[in-house]
Amino acid sequence: MHKESKKILIINAGSSSIKWSLFDDKFSVEANGICEKIKLPEGIVTLKFNGKVYEDKLKLSDFFAATKKMVEQWKEHNVIKNFDEISHVAYRIVNGGPKLRETVEVTDKTIKYLQEAIDLAPVHNPGALEAIEAFESLFSKAKHTLHFDTSFHATLPKLAYTYPLNAKLCEELNLRKYGFHGLNYQYVTQRMQEILGKKSVNLVILHIGNGASLCAVQNSKSIETSMGFTPLTGIMMGTRTGDFDPSLIPYIMKHKNLTIDEVMDIVNKKSGLYGVSKLTSDFRELNIKISEDNEDAKFAFELYCTKISEYLINYLNKIEGKIDALVFTAGVGENQENLRTKVIEKIKLINLKIDEEKNQNAPRGKETLISSKDSLIPIYIIPANEELLIAKEANKFK
């Protein structure tokens, strides 16, 4: 009798959504999809399988209802025949806090630690906890694991993760730099080891998406990263400010009669490219406005690239020894050739050069070397693939 291959389910839960991918035992994606608008009047459950897209609209009262409908959709379209085909369920977690710093199995103890860290990721962690409970009830025989966006940065030295705040306060409240996008940084680091044929690599990785950060990698370990205690700090992003003077928060509250929550909503959701351009956080729309000579769009692009380049030159200086490569990754970094050109042009201290023919013609979704031969450091595009990394990590748990 033919034995069914086991499948690995990757779950990325937000406050009202569940993104998922289903891998086979050879780490190829068999299907993926999303449940959206959970707990809202009309939810959407989308499945992509065998080149087709299926969509159902219905009320999803909670994460369990969404999970149940998702699995019903799988059975209807023969994605799985029975629950036992799922051998592993792996959850992407934004921040596990100080007690969860590496991939772990789901247990009562690890769930308790994750609950204690809700304040560190108040948008994502509650949804993740609800999703875990729902999927555990449906896939009781599977191995369930937690994979953290902060884990790769557990190697940050004390000089990198310490804030110059009152030390006693920092100790009491675990105030420190955690860093994010770690799953993709780990994936990119491993791919660069394979591409360059080296056991360890020195890199500066630019993860530029709607959320964006940089990471300095020494001997394949994170030694510095731009996001901090939360994903708000660092470079300017799609809707987040990045670094700014925190004294602006009480100033805005006082002069605009706003609450702290209202100001934090502005700095997280209404700033960055969106706020500076007064138009959009979408680079495709921004590029159209730039081509129309819109001054706000041009300035927002210039400021965005400047903030990235300032962190880039800083991180290049942090790495001891030869730097093996600079890497652009994530949606904007992979797909916006004008951004790559502008960021590299702004580096004056060392000779970095992009081959514009390679840069302009870089195929979407492909690993590409885009630097010219006389560039002091090679420059690559490596597409983000956190889910593949998670699937391989989960498979180690038997």
Which parts are annotated binding residues for Mg(2+)? 12, 386
Phi, psi of 134 (to 5 degrees): -65, -50
What would the two tokens of residue 392 be? Answer: 């391989």
Provide the annotated binding site.
12, 19, 92, 207-211, 282-284, 331-335, 386
Taking the chain, what is the end-to-end CA distance rounded to the nearest angstrom?
23
Residue-wise burial string across 289-325, b where 16 or more C-beta atoms lie within 10 A, e elsewhere? bbeeebeebeebbeebbebbbebbeebbeebeeebbb
The residues carrying an active-site annotation are 149
Q: Residue 397: CB partners within 8 Å, gap ≥ 6?
A: 88, 105, 143, 145
CB 3 within 8 A of CB 82: no
What would the two tokens of residue 279 be? Answer: 């138009």
Q: What share of the chain is helix, strand, coil (3-state, %, to 5)?
A: 40, 20, 40
Cα separation, 214 vs 203, in Å, equals 10
Provide the annotated binding site for ATP.
19, 207-211, 282-284, 331-335
Cα separation, 330 vs 153, in Å, equals 18
Cα separation, 3 vs 171, in Å, equals 53
Residue 60 gets which letter from DSSP?
Answer: -
Provide the annotated binding site for substrate.
92
Segments of the chain assigned E as strands: 7-13, 18-23, 29-36, 43-49, 52-58, 86-93, 104-105, 143-148, 203-208, 212-218, 221-225, 325-329, 368-369, 379-381
Residue 37, helix vs strand vs coil:
coil
CB hemisphere CA count around 178 (13 angstroms): 26
Tell me which amino acid residue 169 is.
Answer: L
What would the two tokens of residue 12 be? Answer: 């990325």
